[in-house]
Amino acid sequence: MTKRPEDLRSHQWYGGEGLRAFSHRARSRQLGLNPEEHLGKPVIAILNTWSGINPCHMHLRERAEQVARGVWQAGGYPVEFPVSTLSETFCKPTPMLYRNLLAMETEEILRSYPVDGAVLMGGCDKTTPGLLMGAASADLPAIFVPAGPMLRGHWRGETLGSGTDMWRYWDERRAGTIGAEEWDELEAGLARSPGTCMTMGTASTMTSAAEALGLTLPGASSIPAVDSAHNRMAAASGRRAVELVWADLTPSRILDSRAYADAAATVMALGGSTNALIHLIAMAGRSQVPLNLADFDRIARTTPVLADIRPGGRFLMEDFYYAGGLRALLARLRDRLHTDRITVTGRTFGEDLAGAIVHDDNVIRRLDSPLSTEGGVAVLRGNLAPDGAVIKYVAAAPELLRHTGPAVVFHGYRDLQDRINDPGLAVTEDSVLVLAGAGPKGGPGMPEYGMLPIPDRLLKRGVRDMVRVSDARMSGTSYGACVLHVAPEAHVGGPLALVRDGDPITLDVADRTLRLEVPEEELARRRAEWTPPEPVFERGYGALYYEHVTQADRGCDFEFLARPGKNPEPYAG
Ligand code: FES
């Protein structure tokens, strides 16, 4: 131990003979605590994203009790704090609008209360980056407890994956090959247990990234939510949180450029969600570590996709766990990783991987038979995306990866919904569907509209993929030739705002380019005619968001949260 009880941060609240300390101790007795139960012990904040509306986190109330058990066992004092739940399913227009709010809430709770360390409980898409961004800024010792994926879905002998199979069967329903009865059965069979989406969507991508960063116990991110191992992991995380406080092992000692490079490589090897690029750039910004889109493209080119998991592959997270989980995959990637950096265990990343083996080469591919020899994501540039765009090309029809077609432009999601099935819409399978006005400010919140629906009449003719371009994001469970995160977005005058119906657009993934084939003089004329839209929000949190959110290539953080600098500790005496 390097710290004494009187060195604990919480001692500023509870220690000494002053009136404030008296008041804090008196109120602790009001909480039902005898002084010997908590004074001089590390206070561990359990930040819990449980709520009654978030099915992915419905088990976290019970799991928080296991965390608290571990904290008590190790001689700490657990205090549970409810924080924003950010249900990906129910929060509108998108929980991405509120990721930074959760990050602020996390940071300020840790700062303003007598807290020595934290256990962060989340998993549903935006909760992982939100919690970790706040914890990185607060820089108190912290450990992440991933909610864990739900069990496989089932329907008439078929295995169903969250999101992925919903989109797939929705296309079949619209094409008329699935009836109302089957559709109702699918609704009942898709999500069978608590836990996060069990495809390699944003949730599993980000919890795996958190593990690769070194912020979870080894293996934690792969454990299914309802497995008894998840209870044991939660308790062990509580115990470890107390040890972290005594060792003063803070996020800033763990989150260096090597950790972020390894997290990026992990995302690529998993065939993970494109959302991870935005979140990891934002998280690295909080750690004051340079990380940009070019880094992802470079890492992608040298990292094979080893996880054969939907939407890019065949299996689901439950299969991944039985095949050895993330530790086994990382052990296969070992030569590409920085194994000498420290993690939340106090050991090196390499030591955390010791003994990990793959039990099923179909699910976690061998290096000599990867799903793809390069990571599944490419970063595109060109006159349509001067600051970059992203495509998850492993989940796209290969023949579309080099394609030129005429634009069919939609301005905002409502326009898209209103006109996509208009019989008069001049669209063919060669068209490039463009959605402008769905970015960080215009969306607002950059919703997951990026998998633009294929028009019904083309679906009925058997078309299942088209090139689509937007400044939106896409669910990690989605698929298709969807160019996403075009920056700068249309709402702030990015070139996407200048595209007109019929303009040829060229996508060339091998060349990493996205071009609007319109003469520069014509684009200059259109630019001069462009008028900025009205701000989306007039007041409240939305106005704060609108004023300060950065573009996708910079992680969509608030510039005042990403900037370097330190805030004073609150005076508790
Ligand atoms: Fe919560 Fe997918 S909806 S993880």
Sequence-ordered list of residues with C-beta below 8 angstroms from that of 468, at least 6 positions apart, any chain: 432, 433, 434, 435, 450, 451, 452, 480, 481, 482, 483
| pLDDT of res. 394 | 83
56 lines ligand 1 (CB under 6 A): yes
| pLDDT of res. 344 | 98
CA–CA distance, 38 with 75 (Å, rounded to integer): 9
50: which 2 tokens?
Answer: 């449980």
| pLDDT of res. 164 | 81
| pLDDT of res. 479 | 83
Distance 187 CA to ligand 1 centre (A): 15
CA–CA distance, 448 with 499 (Å, rounded to integer): 21
CA-nearest of 246, 244, 234 to 69 is 234
Atom of ligand 1 minimally distant from the CA of 203 = 4
- Average confidence score pLDDT of the chain: 96
At 112, the amino acid letter reads S
Percentage of the chain beyond pLDDT 70 is 100
CA-nearest of 381, 383, 493 to 439 is 493
14-31 tens-digit pLDDT: 998 999 999 999 999 999
Q: What is the architecture, at CATH level 2, of domain 377-529?
A: 3-Layer(bba) Sandwich (3.50)
Fill in the DSSP letter of residue 194.
Answer: S
Class in CATH terms, 41-151+193-353:
alpha beta
Atom of ligand 1 minimally distant from the CA of 57 = 1
Distance 341 CA to ligand 1 centre (A): 31
CA 527 to chain centre: 34
203 lines ligand 1 (CB under 6 A): yes
Distance 88 CA to ligand 1 centre (A): 5
Strand 513-516 versus strand 504-508 pairing type: antiparallel
| pLDDT of res. 312 | 85
C-beta separation of 324 from 307 below 8 A: no
Atom of ligand 1 minimally distant from the CA of 125 = 4
Q: Domain ranges in the chain?
A: 41-151+193-353, 153-189, 377-529
CA–CA distance, 306 with 271 (Å, rounded to integer): 8
| pLDDT of res. 1 | 52
Q: Identify the segments of the chain with pLDDT beneath 70.
A: 1
Percentage of the chain beyond pLDDT 90 is 92
| pLDDT of res. 475 | 85
C-beta separation of 261 from 91 below 8 A: no
269: which 2 tokens?
Answer: 């090897």
Indicate if 377-529 has the same CATH topology as 41-151+193-353. Answer: no
Pocket test for ligand 1, best of 162, 221, 317 (most atoms within 8 A of CB): 162
204 lines ligand 1 (CB under 6 A): no
C-beta separation of 283 from 257 below 8 A: no
225-237 tens-digit pLDDT: 999 999 999 999 9
| pLDDT of res. 121 | 98
Pocket test for ligand 1, best of 49, 50, 56 (most atoms within 8 A of CB): 56
96 lines ligand 1 (CB under 6 A): no
Distance 127 CA to ligand 1 centre (A): 10
